[in-house]
Structures are given as structure tokens and as C-alpha cells.
Structure 1
Amino acid sequence: MAALADSCTTAAAPADSPPPPWLADLNPQQLAAVQQGDAPLLVLAGAGTGKTATLAARVAALVLAGVDPHRLLLLTFSRRAAQSMAQRAGRRLHQALGLRATQAPPVLPWAGTFHAIGARLLREYATQIGLPDHFSIIDRGDAQDLMALQRQALGLAAAHSRFPMAATCLAICSRTLNSQQPLAQVLADHFAWCSAWEAELKVLFRAFAAAKAAQQLLDYDDLLLAWLQVLADDGLAAHIGARFDAVLVDEYQDTNRLQAAILQRLKPDGRGLTVVGDDAQSIYRFRAAEVGNILGFAQQFGPQARTVLLERNYRSSQPILDASNAVIAQAADRHAKTLWTHRTTGPRPQLVTVADELAQARWVADAVLARREEGVVLKQQAVLFRTGSHSAALELELARRQIPFVKYGGLKFLEAAHIKDLLSLLRWGQNPRCMLAAWRAAQLVPGLGPRGARRLVDALTAADDPRAALAAFLPPPAARADWPALARLVQQLQAADSPWPAELDAVRAWYTPHLERLHGDSAALRQLDLDQLQRLAALQPSRERFLTELTLDPPEATSDEAGVPHQDEDYLILSTIHAAKGQEWDAVTVLNVIDGCMPADMATGSAAAVAEERRLLYVAMTRARHHLALMVPLRFHVTQQHRLGDRHLYGGLSRFIPPAVAAWFDRVTDGPAAPDAAPAVLPPRPTGAAPLLQLGQAWD
């Protein structure tokens, strides 16, 4: 690290000191970021500016400067991003060290998501904070189920007035923890209709936390909260912080206050800390992401902090960047930067005014086919939208015209019933105190319903030895024939010598008849998911490691949600803007760029919410390489405004495209005049015309 610090400045390398060959492809801004010393470093990486390449090169430079790869912590927001970063850093090191292609690059064992790294550290330091080292990790779905059980046990489900459902309660709890704000403030800002239940929610959340503690469970939020609790001890914080010479954080604009506090405790003075991100792409406020973390980085670490701007864009043409720069320049609080590219030519982006959603769907389908004839394959075209329901009319039009498409979304792997069933058996075997797993697994036995499962859970909870209580449990008469097989299986899984991963054979042998009974015709397809689960299990050294890795980084979708395979060699991409972040296409069309949809009508309650909606539009626009069209339907369907009913409303161009910004676009009108055009003058009514319609006839 010292060698890197001694050889670097805050600017690009001088012209008479060319970079080493393995860094020759970086531009001066990227090179300046790579060659910084160990002062707190913020790399402001605009959209398409080579953020990943820069961060990977910095990782390689740190290793070359003497940092042990085992003392380098790389934090990302997805496991795949961490793996990609490690692979790219490895390729850089291959170049720098002149390694043969067959030689493995250095391994980065501490590259992963905040939650995965937190889980790993907690296994090591659990006893220091009174946490059992064999705790189980549950996903959001299981956490919601546990919240529902506590909600019911407290009698809140029988309240005379509307009490929030379990999913809402979990969202409130999660937001409060991750934002590090008082419950009252979270309710007032984001869940105003729940404010009257503040006292009851506090009771519920305490019961929820107590239930997790009793069952030795941690949910996603607890992984961060417990990690910060470890770091609250000055001695432990110094010990853990000293384990890492360098800490690098990707997508820093997406961190919440809890994650920022963890980083501050790891590196109190910021030495060795590098964060990379773009405040203009902070769009996860609904997950408690705090854009203030990146906006206030320099103030947090004082005059020793360094900032490097990455502004050269390698993705989009200059006309698209000009329009995108104009949109984000309206933001009140931001790090000023102007994206530019050497690709100065290209078509200007379009503002397309259409009559309604049906006309919008027809125009998009026509444009998609026209670009396909020009050589832009469907896979390089994307249609983006604020909310999944906004594409309904377009999906019907595409189907009618036989244009294949894929829409990102659907049931997640861990949300599928058969996956949750199998994992509940493994979790119960791993953790005899996991009553949530016992509750679900027990109800797989025919004749054992919720009441019988509750009696089992109560007996296990009250027992000093849950294994003995399981052996002594007497099921209801309807379940007595099938219950012993499950009891034997769980006892086998809880035995110290239960073989891994061979024990999965026994689990599947017991579960297969129940899978066929419960899911009928789809059982064979669901077995494919269980086959995949078993293959994943074979890659992990233990059941505990398997359950942890799968919970923190599950596959995206299940076999039964894959749908009919496309026989066509090509297909159009439909995606929400949130799901499209980090992606790019040759042509991008954004639906419903009108007030009420962009910004969404439910996201205009505060200046911060409106500011994020502007950033959301900016993210959508900067996905495009060559062609960009923003759609402006004059009439659109509204379902989210329940007070208005299910009806059409007239809308105007989004407030994010005022006249000064609209000047960067070509205006296209399909049918009706644009919103700012003069109304047409009607001709005089001819003599002898039929009498005017009487309004009363509408009710005949």
C-alpha cells in the first residue's frame, strides 16, 4: 500500500511518464483513480464510464503494491458482481505479472456482498456478542411468515380497525433498522396510514426480535445490525479493521445508513477506503438507500479525502448524453459532472407524443420492427417502464403481432413452495430451535394442519431439549400413520454424523411422494429445481455453508416459472427501470414519461422522492447506446389512485422535461397534437345537421 501511495498523485500520470502496459487502456481519469494512495477515495463514476474496469484495475494495483489479497475487502451488492470484479482484477494481474494463461490469478477470499461478508464475520465473532455460532439465516419470505405468526399471536390480526399486514410490518421494521431512524419518523415519511399503530408496532417488532433470538435466527437486516453491534466494541472494531489493509465498495450510492456506519467503524479515518458510485444513479430509496452517503463522503473524512471524476462515457452517443446531462442537471443536490464521448454523431433522442396507451403500444411495436429491419436485433432493443403494470397494453400488442419478448420478473427461486419445503427440512435439521422450519415441514404430513403444527411448535419451544420433545410428540389421529417417517428423518438430520450432501437423498426420498400429492402435474417440473438444488449442495463443504450461501445468493427463477420456450432466435427485452440498472442496449424506449407515471403519483410526497424519480429517468435514458425514445401518451390508465377508481386520466409531459431540456430532443407526434400545440379550430356546424346528442340518452 505504501508503494502505491508513494508513486501516485491525485491527477493523471504526467505525459512523460506513461502508464505501465497493463494499464495502457485506461483514460487519464481512470488512471488517476487506480493510482491514488491510501487516503479516503471517492470515485464518482458516471453512467457507462468504465467503473468496473477501473475498480478491478485498482484492486490489481493494490496487490502489486504489496497488499496481501487475503487482507483486501471488496464489498458489492451482488455475488456475481464480486465474482466478476475478482476475475477482471485477476486478468489485470496476469498482464502485469506476465503469468501464463494456465496460471491461476490470486484469489480474493473477502470479496462479496455486505450480507455475505457480515454472515462470515459473525460466524467468527458470534460468541463475542452472545450470538450462537450455529445461527440460521432466513430470507425475506421466511421473515414475513415469522412476522405473521407474531402478529397473530399478539391478537393484532383481530383488531377492530385495519392493522398493517405482515408484509407491510416487515417493510416498516426493515426500513427503520436500515435507515437508522426512529420508528415515528419512518411512519410519518413512508407509511403515514400506519402512524396510529406506532405503539402496537413496537410491541410486534420486539416480539419478532424475541422469536428470532429464541429460534437462533437472523434475517437479512440482522446480519448488518449484528455486524455493527460487533464493531460497536472498540477493541473488536480495531481488531477487525486491522485485518484489512484496503476496503473497496462498489455502488456506494446504494448503501444505507447502517452500511455506512459499518464502513466508518472499519476505517474510522478513511485510510485504505475506496468507494465507487454515482449519486445520479441512486434509485433504491425504497430499500433505505441513502444518497447522502455519497454526497457527504468528502465532508465525512475531511481534507484528506480525494475525489476523482469519471466522465468519459463508452456507451452512448453524444446526443443521448446531452439530453441525459440536461435532465440530471436540474437536480438540486448532486455532484456536478458532464458525461461526454468521442462518438459525437448519432440520431437525437425522440419525444414521441401519442393519443393513449394503445397508440403507444402500436408505435413501439412499429419502431421495434423497423429497427430490426435496419439491423438492430430484438435482443439489443429494450422497453423500460416505471412499474410492471405499465407494459400491459404493449404485451398484448406484441403478442398479437407475434413479436417475442421477455419481461424481467416472476417468482424468485426461494419463494417457490417446493424449494421452501425442502429447505425447511434442512434448516430444522441444522437448527432444532428453528420453529419456523418445523412449522412448515410438519404441515407437509397429511392430516397435520396449522393447529397440530402449532401444538408441535409450542412443545418444542417449551422444551429444554427440542430433540426429546420431537420424539415424544403425539400427532393428531389423522397424521399418526405418516408422522413417524418425518420424525425419523428430522432426528437423522439432527444427528452429529448426518452425512453431507448424501443426506439430501434421504430428504428427497421422504419429500417426493408429498411433492406429487401437493403439486400433481407440475411435480415433474419441480423435481428439476430439486435436482438443481442437489447439484448446488455438492459444491458446498457443509449443510450450514450451503444454507447460508443459498439464502444470500439464490438462483433467480424456478423451472415452473420459465414459461414456454421461445422458438424464435430473438426476442425483445421488457424491463422495469430498476431491473435495467447496469444493463445497456442499442435502442431503448421508455414508456409513459408523463406526470403521474414519471414521477409516479405515489412518489411525489417529498422533495427527496421527486429527486429520486428524476434519477430514475436518468438511469433509463443512459441505458441507450444509439437510439432513445421517450413516450408521452396524452391519456393513460390509472389503477394506483384508488380514490379515483379505475379510469383514464389526461396527462402532460413529465416535469423532468421542461422546454429547455426538451430542446435536446426531436419531437414526434403520432396522431394528436403535442401537449403544447395550439388547439384545432372547429369548422362551423352545417345547417340541417342532426340534432345534438341529449346527455340523458347515455342512461337509456
Structure 2
Amino acid sequence: MVAESVLEGLDPEQRAVAEAVQGPVCVLAGAGTGKTRAITHRIAYAVHTGVVTPQRVLAVTFTTRAAGELRGRLRQLGAPGVQARTFHAAALRQLSYFWPRVVGGDPPKIIDSKIKLVADAARMCGLSLGRTELRDVAGEIEWAKVTQNRPEDYPAAVVRAARKPSTEVVDVARVYAMYEQLRRERNLLDFEGMLELTAAVLTEHREVAGQVREQYRYFVVDEFQDVNPLQKMLLDAWLGGRHDLCVVGDPNQTIYSFTGASPSYLLGFTREHPDAKVVKLVRDYRSTPQVVRLANGVIGQARGDRHELELVAQRESGPDPVFNEYDDEVAEADDTARRARKLIDEGVPAREIAILFRINAQSETYESALAAAGVPYVLRGAERFFERPEVREAVVRLRGAARAGADAETDGTGLIMTVRHVLSGAGFSDQPPEGAGAARARWESLAALAQLAEDMAADDPKAGLPEFVAELEERAAAQHAPPLEGVTLASLHAAKGLEWDAVFLVGLAEGTLPIIYAKTPEQVEEERRLLYVGITRARVHLALSWALARSPGGSQLRRPSRFLDGLTDKTTTHMPARVDRAKRRVAKGPQPCRVCGRPLTAAVERKLGRCEDCPSELNEELFIALKDWRAEMAAEQRIPAYVVFTDATLQAIAEHCPESVEELARIPGVGRVKLDRYGEAVLKLCGV
């Protein structure tokens, strides 16, 4: 009876997975189809029917979070004791246990990061690499190791894979060889070496292999489309020719090929195991029919009607996806923030909204737009823009240049050229580096700062470097959010495995998606799958957008992503009203102190309209009343107080005592959104 109860509530395909208690089994599970539910019920059913004991099961996945979720669900199903681990955790456990017996002596130290060792190896090779280049070389070494390419094989492997590392291929190969030499000399082991060594111990020591295979007789591997050759080698060593294996994956969500992952093991499972049972999970319980239809349309273009999994929506109908085209990226971000604010006002929790983009450098525009709209946000899978090392370094350089009087006394082009010159010292150039990786990400961040300078120069041709630095500092100060409650900003890669009620997919223009360095047909198709992953994160609300130009007033030469061809007629495409950028921006260039006349550059001083040292006419009673009101608003809306208004803005209001909407709007920090939301209440406190 207990076993039968485990099957209750499963749909026919999920039940087929659960009842297939002996392998080999291949589960092709589409997005939102309940794959975790299916495989945990399969394990629990096998345990309750006596097919296997919990201690004989090894469930392998790719993240500790996913492993923890598997263990939690299995406990609820009455199957505690199942080992659910990542590949690395399982390998480390086994290697640590058997090391004294098969090797002896001190075990190698596991290194968390390759950077220091790569730096030492580069130095030994006579190469001077910056931190960005070191990260890229470390990534290349990791790719080479998981794909089982030795240093001498690396150059040819790069050509076959059409990779374009930012460092010369011959230099990477030299550093790779020296890295391996130093690692052995210092008795160190990286994560790839740990998997390789565990597989070697099992292969070369029959008694160890016998003990491990006696311990684990029942294997389940989740996200099998993301397995790389090294992980597959270890899995084969665990199995030892046996076939009691269940794999679960979705070929339509293969988005990590650049790290060495290969969907070939999932797609070729029946060739390796001819008697395998194959079950397809296609009932989508996550998304509305409208979202599912678009997802099927995008992925269906890859193989016509032959794509592996076509989802079938199970939820009730919802709103159509919306396609928006904008004049420029600033307008796109502003309107996206406005739409997010509208959803929150309509009752959608901020934590159930996500804005997803292709590259992390795109986040700054959205961080700024959300902060200006008073929308709290959290950044996932990436550092905040102003916390990135290259951005912090650039701001320090710009601040130093401003103090040294490096500003050019010309029109708006002076600021642009000065900023670009300073950024060049941090590695910025007019042309981006080839390929992906840390070097490209660093360049994108610096390019975003250069673009900000162009934006400021367009708004105020008289603006100089001090004003630009003040603008950066104000933006950085405004971009804080509560740790949990807020709209999620994330790259499409970081969003995999997550879901939200509302999703905004932004920047869907040629050159960004597919990314410009996706050259081969295989690379382009992986970009398509990335868009598919983004679409299938949405439960109900979905908006897709692109901009015709990068900056306001720029040439509108962009076109929507090719992946949307033929699909936009299924929804309403419209051009929203142009957002007035002047109402969004706070920094307007030099502003004189209203007391002494000195130019104001500090953000706080510009908000107050005076030097901090100059005498003020602060209405202390009004200031206290404003702070009390702000605290109530923040508690009611469950947002930090500074998101309502900063202390400097409240102080400026208490000093000016505005008597009309127009006067209140002229106070820095009171933009159009905040004026609409809080203006009436503030003026009432001011006695209007």
C-alpha cells in the first residue's frame, strides 16, 4: 500500500518513469514537466517495492542545491538514506576514503581556484597576464581537461571546436603544460583532476572498484545533457558495464557546450543501451498555453517538426506574450522598469518578476532604471555592476583623473574622449576582444561606462569629468536592494533551473542574441536554445523586447533576433511612447551652490542645492515628519526606506518647502515615477 501511494498524483508519463524501476531508462523531460517529481518517485517506488535499498542508490546532479532538493523530497517520500550528490562531491568522498589504501602518504590538497597556480605557471613561461587573462586561461585549461585534451593536444582541439580564446593558443598550451607540472610538484589537485583520479583508481584497482560497485548498484543522473566527457568517464567507471542507470535530460536546454558539456550522451543513450526504455515528459505544468506556444515555435525552427520535445500546456489560458521595439536601450530599460512597477502594483510580488539578458554587462542599464523607478531588485549569478573589479578600478581611475584636473575644456566630445582615455588605462579599446570569456565581459563593463559618458554629454554638452564621477557615485549609491525581496536581474545562463510569474527577455537583437561571436551553425543553435530556456522560465507574463540603437539619437540599424522571425505576428507588437530621459537622470552637470555660488559636484550637495558647510534653512519639524512618513511607506511596501527617498532628498525637500508639483519636481531625486507615487503625500506634509 505504501508503494502504491507513491504513484498517486502522477500523470501517465510520470507514472511510467516511476514504474520503470530497473534500467536502463532514458527520460526526455521538457521544461516544467515535473522531472524531479518523476525521478524521486521512481527511486521511492523502487525502495518501497524492495528492488533496491536506499543505501545502494547514487543520484547524481550538478549543483548542491539540486542535490539537497532531491534528498529532501526523498525523505518526504519515505526513502531517507539515498545518496544524492554532485559528481565532484561523490568523487571526493570516494577518493578520500580509498587514498590511504591505494596510494598512501599525504593526500593532495584540493584547490578551489586555478587562478594562483595559473599565474605562477604564466610567470614561469615568461608571460605577463592580467587577472582577466588569467581567468580566461584558467577557463581554457578547465575546458581542455574536461574534454580530455592534454597540453600538446590543446591547439588542435581549439581548431576543431571553433573556440577563440582571448590569449594566444600557443601561450595557453605552454601555460597549461607548466600548470600541470607545478600542480604535481606541489601535490595539488583541481576539480577535474579529482574526477580523473577517481576514475583511474576504479579502473586500476579491482578491489576498490568491486567495493564501490557493491555499495552503489542503482544510478540516477539528472541534467544528463550537461554531462562532459570527464564526468561520463567517471560514470562508466562507477557502472562497470552494468546497466541499472536512469538518465534525465532535455536536449532543448543544452546551453553549456562552451564548458565542454555534450548532449551526445543523452541523444545517443539508446545506441549505447539498445534495450533502454525511453519516456518523454511533455506535459508542461509551469507555463500558460501562450508561453508554451511561443517556446515550441522558437525551438521548432531549429529542426522543423522533428525537434525532440514539443511541450503540451496544462495550465489555464493567460495573457499573450508581448513584443516591444524601442528606439534605444535606455528607452527599453525605462519602459521595462515601468512595466515591472505596474505588475508589482497589480499584486505580483517583486520576487516573482525577472529581467533576463544575454550578457552581464547589460545589467547596469536595468539596475539604474529600476532604482530610478523605485523598484527593488536583486542580481543573480553576477556581481552588481558597480561591484565588478574592472568597474571599481575604472571608477578609481576616473576619480583620480578628475582630482588631477584631467578634464578637457571643450564641448561634449571632451568628456567622451577624456573618459575613453582614462578607461584605456584599465584595458578598454574601441574594438572588443574576440570570443567570449572574462576578457569580453570586462570589455563590456568598461564599454558600458564609456556609453554613460556619451549619454551625459548628449544631455549636457558642458558636463565634465567631475560631474561624470559624481553621476557614477550617485548611481552606485542608489543601486542597493534587499537580499531576497526584489525583481531578479540575471543572465540567461544563470536563470536555468529557475522560474517566475513574470519574465522580461530584453536585448533580443542580432549581435546580442545570437551573440556576435557565435559563428558556427552549432554555436548559433545553442543561442536559440538559450532563448528557449529564457521563455520557459515564465509562468504567466512574458515580454520580449529589443532596441533599434544602443544609445539615444544613435543610428537605428539593429534588427530583432532571427529567432523571432515569423513569430511576432502571434502577439501584438507596438512602439511605446518615448521615455523622457531628462526626467530619469539626476545628474545635470555643474550646479552652483545657492548660498556661496561654488560649483557643486558631490551627489549629496547637488541634491541639497548647496555646499554641505553652507548654512541652511532646514524646517526640522517637516524633516522629522517626512522621515516618519517615509518609514511608514517603506514598511507598507516592504522596501528599504532609501528606495522611497534618500535622506538627502528629504533634507532638500525640508529646506525648499515646495508649494507646487512643479517645485517638488525640480528637487533632485524626485523623478516622474516618485512624483506620481508620492508627490501628493509629500506636498500635503509641506502644507500645500
TM-score computed with the length of structure 1 as normaliser:
0.64
Letter of the 1:273 partner, please give it: L
Report the counterpart of residue 669 of structure 1 in structure 2: 575
Q: Which of 50, 72, 92 is the equivalent residue of 1:87?
A: 72
Letter of the 1:389 partner, please give it: A
Specify the SS of the correspondent of 2:563: coil
Q: Which of 547, 555, 558 is the equivalent residue of 1:633?
A: 547
Report the counterpart of residue 346 of structure 1 in structure 2: 318
Matching of residues 118-129 of structure 1 within 5 Å: 118-126=91-99
Q: Residues 133 and 668 from structure 1, CA distance in 2 versus in 1: closer, same or farther, beyond 3 angstroms?
A: farther
Q: Which of 29, 38, 55 is the equivalent residue of 1:70?
A: 55
Report the counterpart of residue 26 of structure 1 in structure 2: 10
Higher RCO (CA < 8 A, seq sep 6+): 1
Specify the SS of the correspondent of 1:22: helix
Q: CA deviation at 1:628?
A: 0.5
Report the counterpart of residue 51 of structure 1 in structure 2: 35
1:336-386 superposed Cα distances (whole Å, 9 cap, x missing partner)? 222112324111111111111111012212211222232212221111111
Q: Residues 39 and 410 from structure 1, CA distance in 2 versus in 1: closer, same or farther, beyond 3 angstroms?
A: closer
Specify the SS of the correspondent of 1:375: coil
Q: Aligned partners of 2:551 and 2:148: how far apart in 1?
A: 37
Report the counterpart of residue 563 of structure 2 in structure 1: 656
CA contact (8 A) 1:164 1:194 kept: no
TM-score computed with the length of structure 2 as normaliser:
0.65
Report the counterpart of residue 249 of structure 1 in structure 2: 221
Q: Aligned partners of 2:98 and 2:90: how far apart in 1?
A: 12
1:107 maps to 2:81: yes
Report the counterpart of residue 172 of structure 1 in structure 2: 140
Q: Residues 613 and 128 from structure 1, CA distance in 2 versus in 1: closer, same or farther, beyond 3 angstroms?
A: farther
Letter of the 1:365 partner, please give it: A
Matching of residues 638-649 of structure 1 within 5 Å: none
Q: Aligned partners of 2:192 and 2:507: how far apart in 1?
A: 34
1:647-678 superposed Cα distances (whole Å, 9 cap, x missing partner)? 8772111111111x334333222259xxxxxx
Specify the SS of the correspondent of 1:212: helix
Specify the SS of the correspondent of 1:224: helix
Letter of the 1:32 partner, please give it: A
1:298 maps to 2:212: no
Letter of the 1:590 partner, please give it: L
1:309 maps to 2:293: no
* Number of equivalent positions: 482
Q: CA deviation at 1:41?
A: 1.0
Q: CA deviation at 1:416?
A: 13
Letter of the 1:167 partner, please give it: R
Q: Aligned partners of 1:195 and 1:566: how far apart in 2?
A: 37
CA contact (8 A) 1:355 1:671 kept: no
Q: Aligned partners of 2:574 and 2:302: how far apart in 1?
A: 26
Q: Aligned partners of 2:182 and 2:205: how far apart in 1?
A: 29
Report the counterpart of residue 491 of structure 2 in structure 1: 576
Q: CA deviation at 1:149?
A: 0.7
Q: Which of 495, 515, 520 is the equivalent residue of 1:600?
A: 515
Letter of the 1:56 partner, please give it: T
Q: CA deviation at 1:79?
A: 1.5
Q: Which of 192, 198, 213 is the equivalent residue of 1:227?
A: 198
Q: CA deviation at 1:564?
A: 8.4
1:393-432 superposed Cα distances (whole Å, 9 cap, x missing partner)? 22222222222111114569xx999xxxxxxxxxxxxxxx
Letter of the 1:592 partner, please give it: G
Letter of the 1:81 partner, please give it: A
CA contact (8 A) 2:353 2:487 kept: yes
Letter of the 1:177 partner, please give it: K
Letter of the 2:532 partner, please give it: Y
Report the counterpart of residue 337 of structure 1 in structure 2: 309
Specify the SS of the correspondent of 2:36: helix
CA contact (8 A) 2:548 2:558 kept: yes
Q: Residues 152 and 195 from structure 1, CA distance in 2 versus in 1: closer, same or farther, beyond 3 angstroms?
A: closer
Structure 2 residues not aligned, in runs of 5+: 390-475, 579-688
Matching of residues 461-480 of structure 1 within 5 Å: none
Q: Aligned partners of 1:587 and 1:193: how far apart in 2?
A: 36
Report the counterpart of residue 157 of structure 2 in structure 1: 186
CA contact (8 A) 2:325 2:574 kept: yes
Q: Residues 196 and 574 from structure 1, CA distance in 2 versus in 1: closer, same or farther, beyond 3 angstroms?
A: closer
Matching of residues 269-288 of structure 1 within 5 Å: 269=241, 271-288=243-260
Q: Residues 37 and 90 from structure 1, CA distance in 2 versus in 1: closer, same or farther, beyond 3 angstroms?
A: same
Q: CA deviation at 1:271?
A: 1.6
Q: CA deviation at 1:233?
A: 2.7
Report the counterpart of residue 503 of structure 2 in structure 1: 588
Q: Residues 380 and 194 from structure 1, CA distance in 2 versus in 1: closer, same or farther, beyond 3 angstroms?
A: closer
Specify the SS of the correspondent of 2:301: coil
Q: CA deviation at 1:133?
A: 5.3
Q: CA deviation at 1:164?
A: 9.6
Q: Residues 57 and 652 from structure 1, CA distance in 2 versus in 1: closer, same or farther, beyond 3 angstroms?
A: same
CA contact (8 A) 2:495 2:534 kept: yes
Matching of residues 261-276 of structure 1 within 5 Å: 261-269=233-241, 271-276=243-248
CA contact (8 A) 1:323 1:665 kept: no
Q: Aligned partners of 2:119 and 2:495: how far apart in 1?
A: 32
Q: CA deviation at 1:75?
A: 0.8
Q: CA deviation at 1:64?
A: 1.6
- Please tell me the root mean square deviation across aligned C-alpha atoms, in Å: 3.2
Q: Aligned partners of 1:667 and 1:194: how far apart in 2?
A: 39
Specify the SS of the correspondent of 2:488: strand
Percent identity (aligned): 31
Q: Aligned partners of 2:104 and 2:549: how far apart in 1?
A: 56
Q: Which of 501, 520, 530 is the equivalent residue of 1:616?
A: 530
CA contact (8 A) 2:368 2:479 kept: no
Q: Aligned partners of 1:163 and 1:365: how far apart in 2?
A: 34
Letter of the 2:572 partner, please give it: D
Structure 1 residues not aligned, in runs of 5+: 1-16, 94-104, 418-560, 639-646, 673-700
1:391 maps to 2:363: yes
Letter of the 1:220 partner, please give it: F
Q: Aligned partners of 1:273 and 1:264: how far apart in 2?
A: 10
1:368 maps to 2:340: yes
Q: Residues 411 and 568 from structure 1, CA distance in 2 versus in 1: closer, same or farther, beyond 3 angstroms?
A: closer
Q: Aligned partners of 1:71 and 1:37: how far apart in 2?
A: 14
Letter of the 1:616 partner, please give it: L
CA contact (8 A) 2:118 2:137 kept: yes
Specify the SS of the correspondent of 1:601: coil
Q: Aligned partners of 1:405 and 1:587: how far apart in 2?
A: 14
Q: Residues 224 and 37 from structure 1, CA distance in 2 versus in 1: closer, same or farther, beyond 3 angstroms?
A: same
Q: Residues 165 and 410 from structure 1, CA distance in 2 versus in 1: closer, same or farther, beyond 3 angstroms?
A: closer
CA contact (8 A) 1:354 1:671 kept: no
1:214 maps to 2:203: no
Specify the SS of the correspondent of 1:355: strand
1:300-329 superposed Cα distances (whole Å, 9 cap, x missing partner)? 222x11111111111100011011011111
Specify the SS of the correspondent of 1:596: coil
CA contact (8 A) 2:3 2:45 kept: no
CA contact (8 A) 1:49 1:314 kept: yes
1:197-232 superposed Cα distances (whole Å, 9 cap, x missing partner)? 43x544432322222222221111111121222233
Report the counterpart of residue 620 of structure 2 in structure 1: none
Q: CA deviation at 1:106?
A: 2.5
Letter of the 2:342 partner, please give it: A
